Amino acid sequence: MKRLIIILISLVPMLLSAKGDKDTRLIVITIDGLRWQEVFAGADESLMSNEKEVRDAETLRRLYWRHTPLGRRIALMPFVWNTIAKQGTIIGNRNLGSMMQVANKTNISYPGYSEMMTGMVDDAITGNDPVANPHRNVLEAANEDLRYKGSVVMYGSWKSARYAIRNEQAHIPACVSYEQTFAKNKTPRLQLAERMLAGMPRYWRSEHFDAFTYAFALETLMADHPKVMWISFGDCDEWAHARKYDFYLDAANATDAFIRDIYEACEADKFYQGKTTYLITCDHGRGDGAEWGSHGSKVKGSEATWVMLFGKGINPLGETIENGPFYTKQVAATIANILDIEFKPESGEELAPF
């Protein structure tokens, strides 16, 4: 049975051909540092019961503990497992031999986003500082194509994310970390969200809470109708570094609901309905057991990533098994394929889309 499925996967491309289709929209969503372990198996029992890292173990168990990994992952991310897994394709469940990882050796965020968007690894990129990426990226290429020009935008929580796509040089409107939005139509809801963010305590210095990224992105999608948007969420990574497993699980659960809302709003809007592909991925993994909060070149397992694709043009393969290794740098080729644009990474290495 397993063998049959492997053959099927190797013969059928995961993405249906969308070549020549001039009416595509794309929403890329990244969830910073959300581990494959929680995505595919839900809450971890030993981490949930560590009284130093959770405030109220009983409530946490009621919310996220179920007797099987399949039950736990649905409790944690119901939209992913009830909808995306049925309509789309998911890669990266290492328990089932589906392997995906970053190709860069740092296992940290900026190099991860750089790899994802430029389709290559530059070994000189090793830090998280907010400096413009020296390399051309696939969103920049989309913004130079007449079909998408002026219609590629980005919202993020973490300050350095927009530098990874050198948004100023690439003329991609972007808003991160306590910045005001770039929206053309500043609707009353958007103005309210901006006002609320301005009044929030700056709990993290270079990152605002994902709830604002969500509100800005959703409102801009509905009011401005950009064709391509990258939404970069960050709460999971921050709470993991703080070693607050309860907040980390709540952030994963909230992000799942944000994605559901965005999907439902888009599919109820004529501009996006039936024309939109959704790609969701992460920039790096994290350690195991006691090292769950950390990531980096010295943290074993933190190279592990995952990806989900659904919506227009995506084969409903569900959760794939016994495949890979896939690399995060293939995201760039996948975006180019979805948008039907030419994109060659500066490294010269051409990669296959997923």
Chain residues binding Zn ion by CB under 5 A are 33, 237
Tell me how far, at minimum, the Cβ of 47 lies from Zn ion, in Å.
17
Evaluate whether 45 touches 71 at the Cβ level (below 8 Å): no
- Give 92 or 285: the residue with its C-beta nearer to Zn ion: 285
Question: For residues 182 and 162, what is the distance between their CA atoms, to the nearest angstrom?
Answer: 13
Tell me how far, at minimum, the Cβ of 29 lies from Zn ion, in Å.
17
Residue nearest to Zn ion (CB): 237
Evaluate whether 131 touches 150 at the Cβ level (below 8 Å): no
Tell me how far, at minimum, the Cβ of 214 lies from Zn ion, in Å.
20
For 56, what's the count of Cα atoms within 13 Å in the CB-facing half-sphere?
A: 7
Give the three-state DSSP class for 36: helix
Q: State the Cα angle at 97 between 72 and 88, rounded to 5°.
A: 65
Tell me how far, at minimum, the Cβ of 220 lies from Zn ion, in Å.
26
- Give 33 or 313: the residue with its C-beta nearer to Zn ion: 33
- Give 33 or 42: the residue with its C-beta nearer to Zn ion: 33
- Give 33 or 345: the residue with its C-beta nearer to Zn ion: 33
Tell me how far, at minimum, the Cβ of 297 lies from Zn ion, in Å.
13
Q: Tokens at residue 51, please?
A: 């009284």
Q: Tokens at residue 168, please?
A: 């100023």
CA of 88: how far to CAs of 79, 142, 226, 274, 319, in Å?
12, 23, 23, 14, 8
- Give 294 or 347: the residue with its C-beta nearer to Zn ion: 294
Backbone angles phi, psi at 305, to 5 degrees: -130, -175
- Give 81 or 245: the residue with its C-beta nearer to Zn ion: 245
Tell me how far, at minimum, the Cβ of 193 lies from Zn ion, in Å.
25
